[in-house]
Structure 1
Amino acid sequence: MQRLVHPIEQESFRRLRSRLDTSHFAPLTRAVVERVIHSAADLEYATDLVCDERTLETAHAALHAGAPVVVDVEMVAAGITRRETVCRLKEAVAGPGLTRSAHAVRLAYEQVGPGALWVIGCAPTALEELLLLNAEPALVIGLPVGFVGAAESKAALRDSGLPAVSNVSEKGGSAVAAAALNALLYTPVTTPTPLTKENA
């Protein structure tokens, strides 16, 4: 079913594009960049985000094929309205050297296994734990926010070689992480045009 776009959202994207030329981005990268900027009203994300079109294409296919979506906190889940998500923070407990967020990642991985899309917008320790698990994700949207550990955890994500969306600065948060996932959700799957004598 096609998503209905509210006129206010349409006008917001029109104004965004009037202030920032995004036409040079590849399609899915452009969708992610624009939706993240829209969620934060922050044009700096155009140069702060780090993502790769081929990685997004693979993740987009996995997402629309039904791969699980795991979030670190309920605030991220609240922003993803068109898909069920897994969040195990309520059952998680802190322990020696282990935050609740990190424990929640362990619990979620036990539930979903490899091949999930992980959306982390709050806790750097959740992202750090995910990097230790060898989780074989379809995608990690790693956009935790904060002055302690956020930029470092995102740098570690990029260094890991995992398929990822991240940003360089300390900025981030639940809204922008959910927006990055929504960009992939809202982009429809296109069916290749079959070859005919006319278009061969």
Structure 2
Amino acid sequence: MARVRTVHPIEAESYRILRASVDTTHLPPLTRDVAERIVHTTADPEWVGDLVTTEEHLSAGRAALVARRPLVVDVAMVRAGITTFDSICRLPESATDGLTRSAAGIRRAAEEAADGAVWVIGNAPTALYELLRLCATGAVRPALVVGLPVGFVGAAESKAALRASGLPQLSNRSAKGGAAVAAAAVNALLYGNPLEDGDPST
């Protein structure tokens, strides 16, 4: 079950407005939760058509979180956005071995969370590429990869590589993304939807 939390009336009203403006009824439950929370976070309805995932993959990630498997994030901003679940972030103070800081942090985190973790990339495409490299070698076996890096250089390409990898994943087709979006996706898996099943706008 989704974690119980107090929903502020402003958040509930925001979701009602969202559902009056954007049709998400065609989406299966977990996909709908993720898409709506990202739209709620960004005020950008284009995310509904941009996201790529499956219910099976999201269910595996949610089950890992319920089982308190490790949650690994690439940057502190993603960690800050996930306030009710401790996460691993091993971003070094400087780049090492020719890697970006984000990629180096992923390599370090892999030593702690090789099996069954949820991995969340919300900043650098290089971090996602490094995670994919580690998975290809068998060093990391994730329950779910949330791959939502942002930028004009390599972001869309790294997400395409994630989709081609066959790993359980959540990604999007475009170059947009970021820490807030990545955190929103995880929060959707943790909390579900703030609107009750009986809400007339559902």
Is the 8 Å Cα contact of residues 92 and 103 (structure 1) preserved in structure 2?
no
Q: How many residues are treated as equivalent by the alignment?
A: 187
Q: Whole-Å Cα distance in 2 between the matches of residues 109 and 17 of structure 1?
A: 39
Equivalent of 2:77 in 72, 75, 79: 75
Q: For 1:119, give the aligned amino acid.
A: V
Equivalent of 2:143 in 138, 150, 169: 138
Work out which structure has the larger RCO, using CA pairs closer than 8 Å and 6 or more positions apart in sequence: 2
1:51 and 2:61 matched: no
Equivalent of 2:153 in 139, 148, 157: 148
Q: Whole-Å Cα distance in 2 between the matches of residues 152 and 97 of structure 1?
A: 20
Aligned to 2:98: 97
Give the superposition deviation at 1:110.
Answer: 0.3
Give the superposition deviation at 1:131.
Answer: 0.2
SS in 1 for 2:78: helix
Give the superposition deviation at 1:96.
Answer: 4.6
Equivalent of 1:168 in 169, 173, 177: 173
**Deviation per CA, 1:21-73, whole angstroms, max 9, x where unpaired?**
11111110000000011111100000000010111112111110111100000
Give the superposition deviation at 1:104.
Answer: 0.3
Q: TM-score, structure 2 length as denominator?
A: 0.89
Is the 8 Å Cα contact of residues 92 and 104 (structure 1) preserved in structure 2?
no
1:26 and 2:28 matched: yes
Aligned to 1:106: 107
Q: For 2:96, give the aligned amino acid.
A: G
Give the superposition deviation at 1:187.
Answer: 2.8
Q: For 1:121, give the aligned amino acid.
A: G
Is the 8 Å Cα contact of residues 92 and 101 (structure 1) preserved in structure 2?
no
Q: Whole-Å Cα distance in 2 between the matches of residues 132 and 162 of structure 1?
A: 12
1:62–1:96 Cα change, 3 Å: closer
Give the superposition deviation at 1:92.
Answer: 5.4
Q: For 2:18, give the aligned amino acid.
A: L
Moved more, 109-118 or 174-183: 109-118
Q: Whole-Å Cα distance in 1 between the matches of residues 9 and 90 of structure 2?
A: 36
Give the superposition deviation at 1:154.
Answer: 0.4
**Deviation per CA, 1:56-99, whole angstroms, max 9, x where unpaired?**
1121111101111000000000000110000000x353135311
Aligned to 2:200: none
Q: For 1:122, give the aligned amino acid.
A: N
Where do 5+ consecutive residues of structure 2 fail to align?
194-202
